[in-house]
């Protein structure tokens, strides 16, 4: 068996693909190396829900056969990856991170798993998640069947969001990339906290067939990886129409950042207050440096604010109404009491009291929000803001604690961008941009629907000029 150097665990998809094609190691050898690392270190971060060694090695042998016969399938061929445990892998438990579903097994793979297998990628494990993707709200990071996902940069800190296992696994070099999901922040938070690159695609770009539903009109599946380029290559493989998911938009995606308009023609909207008053004092120099970097691209920088709407309450009403319907049987049967987080149990029970008139009112306000953002994106092409205003929280800290600035900021800036753009269904790219006390920070780029190539082109340029996305946590070594 070829020796796999440590650098391979933090290599980009293109780098891994080139090494496979050059026969520096086989797909089986690469899969075994990542499996060994995932099985050894995954429990250290509570990131692993289930290893898939036997099936992964079977797929790897098929890849080696195809490579030997010169049957290329693209950059993802032979690349190991992991999936959040809300995605079905046929014949294996899909627990949704929750005790009531610990023995649940599906007969078919999720559509995204099928598409990645067709591209030659190899699923080596299911990754830990917050129970039911956080449906109903949760107060502590320990709201999971596998315990709190620990941050590879500091295990006393949270990996963040319901896709926390995916974020931790990529950050620790346990997988080259992972799939997560976002309904209201579950890709942005682990990407920001763990210092990896994440992409939340436009609503409808990626099929959710075979994924746990939390909110039919908000759920999105997307990648977390080493770089913006990696995210583009993954989206190319998983995007597209699916008759089994009526929410799909019927659009395929081709990663082609070279065809994006020249940067000098792009308008980036930002709010100075986001990088100053709203951010925690210790983070401000890092965020300002990131802002300066984007200003150096030659784009037109435009100061903006997002429209004034109650984004959080609107999203929570819609999410609660839909989750209450989806998990009605769990709640009515009393099985909901087996969940780990008391706040989440109470929150799911409370969804049964949401009235149709309140849900419909929230949907009407959502339409107004969508119209307002359409007008905003007539003025700018991209919005730029910190992904999260602070570093990862400590594991024992309550997640509903509110951090408020010491002084009232001069403007609202782009605060509320995460719930707002999840309501709108807009794409977002999350980029590591520096560290405070050894913990990662990130910025986000948000665009109009189906503008992923523009976001990815800007992200790739930023990562050409910086190396934050290449930093490695010492605990993962």
150 domain-assigned: yes
pLDDT at 400: 86
165 domain-assigned: yes
243 domain-assigned: yes
* Active-site entry in 84, 111, 115, 126: 84
* Active-site entry in 11, 26, 144, 162: 162
Answer yes or no: is pLDDT of 428 > 70.
yes
By DSSP bridging, strand 80-84 and strand 154-158 are unpaired
Mean pLDDT of 226-252: 97
Residue 207 belongs to domain with CATH number: 3.90.1300.10
Q: Using an 8 Å Cβ cutoff, are 208 and 430 in contact?
A: no
Number of compact structural domains in the chain: 1
Digit-coded pLDDT (tens) for 111-128: 999 999 999 999 999 999
49 domain-assigned: yes
Task: Indicate the SS3 state at residue 449.
Answer: coil
Query: What's the chain's average pLDDT?
Result: 96
Digit-coded pLDDT (tens) for 165-216: 999 999 999 999 999 999 999 999 999 999 999 999 999 999 999 999 999 9
- Look at 473 and 409; give whichever has higher pLDDT: 473
The CA-to-CA distance between both ends of the chain, in Å, stands at 21
342 domain-assigned: no
Indicate the helix (H) or strand (E) that contains 436: strand 428-436
223 domain-assigned: yes
Please name the residue that has the structure tokens 């079905």.
88
Encoded tokens for 423: 């309501």
Q: In sequence order, what are the residues at sequence separation of 6 or more whose Cβ sits closer than 8 angstroms to the Cβ of residue 58?
A: none
Distance, CA of 462 to CA of 443 (rounded, Å): 11
* Active-site entry in 186, 215, 227, 393: 186
373 domain-assigned: no
pTM of the entire predicted model: 0.97
pLDDT at 477: 43
Encoded tokens for 181: 């999901």
162 given a catalytic annotation: yes
User: SS3 for 39-97, per residue?
Assistant: HHHHHHHCCEEEECHHHHHHHHHHHHHHHHCCCCCCCCCCCEEEEECCECCCCCECCCC
pLDDT at 270: 98
102 domain-assigned: yes
Answer yes or no: is pLDDT of 217 > 90.
yes
Which range of residues forms the domain containing residue 110?
6-257
């Amino acid at each position: 068996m070829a020796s796999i150097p440590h650098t391979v665990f933090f290599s980009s998809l293109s780098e891994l693909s080139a090494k496979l094609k050059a026969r520096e190691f086989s797909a089986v050898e690469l899969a075994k190396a990542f499996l060994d690392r995932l099985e050894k270190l995954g429990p250290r971060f509570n990131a692993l829900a289930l290893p898939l060694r036997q099936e992964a090695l079977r797929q790897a042998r098929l890849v080696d056969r195809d490579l030997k016969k010169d049957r290329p399938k693209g950059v993802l061929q032979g690349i190991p990856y992991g999936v959040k445990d809300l995605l079905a892998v046929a014949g294996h438990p899909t627990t949704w991170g929750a005790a009531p579903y610990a023995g649940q097994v599906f007969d078919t793979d999720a559509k995204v798993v099928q598409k990645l297998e067709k591209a030659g990628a190899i699923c080596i494990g299911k990754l830990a998640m917050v129970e039911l993707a956080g449906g109903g709200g949760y107060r502590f990071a320990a709201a999971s069947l596998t315990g709190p996902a620990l941050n590879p940069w500091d295990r006393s800190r949270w990996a963040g969001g319901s896709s926390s296992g995916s974020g931790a696994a990529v950050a620790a070099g346990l997988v080259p990339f992972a799939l997560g999901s976002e309904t209201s922040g579950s890709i942005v938070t682990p990407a920001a906290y763990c210092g990896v690159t994440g992409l939340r695609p436009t609503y409808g770009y990626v099929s959710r067939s075979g994924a746990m539903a939390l909110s039919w009109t908000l759920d999105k599946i997307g990648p977390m990886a080493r770089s913006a380029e990696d995210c583009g290559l993954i989206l190319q493989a998983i995007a597209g129409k699916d008759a089994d998911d009526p929410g799909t938009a019927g659009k395929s995606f081709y990663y082609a950042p070279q065809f994006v308009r020249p940067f000098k023609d792009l308008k980036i909207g930002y709010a100075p207050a986001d990088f100053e008053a709203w951010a925690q004092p210790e983070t401000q120099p890092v965020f300002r440096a990131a802002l300066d970097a984007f200003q150096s691209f030659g784009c037109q920088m435009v100061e903006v604010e997002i429209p004034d709407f109650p984004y959080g309450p609107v999203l929570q009403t819609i999410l609660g109404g839909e989750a209450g319907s989806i998990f009605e049987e769990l709640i009515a049967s009393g099985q909901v009491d087996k969940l780990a987080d008391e706040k989440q149990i109470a929150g799911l029970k409370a969804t049964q009291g949401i009235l149709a008139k309140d849900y419909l009112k929230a949907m009407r306000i959502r339409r107004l929000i969508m119209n307002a953002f359409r007008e905003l994106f007539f003025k700018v092409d991209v919005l730029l803001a910190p992904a999260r205003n602070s570093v990862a929280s400590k594991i024992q800290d309550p997640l509903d604690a509110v951090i408020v600035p010491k002084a009232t900021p001069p403007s609202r800036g782009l605060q509320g961008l995460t719930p707002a753009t999840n309501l709108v269904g807009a794409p977002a790219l999350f980029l590591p941009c520096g560290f405070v006390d050894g913990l990662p920070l990130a910025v986000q780029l948000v665009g109009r629907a189906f503008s992923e190539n523009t976001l990815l082109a800007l992200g790739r340029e930023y990562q050409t000029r910086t190396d934050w996305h290449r930093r490695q946590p010492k605990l993962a070594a």
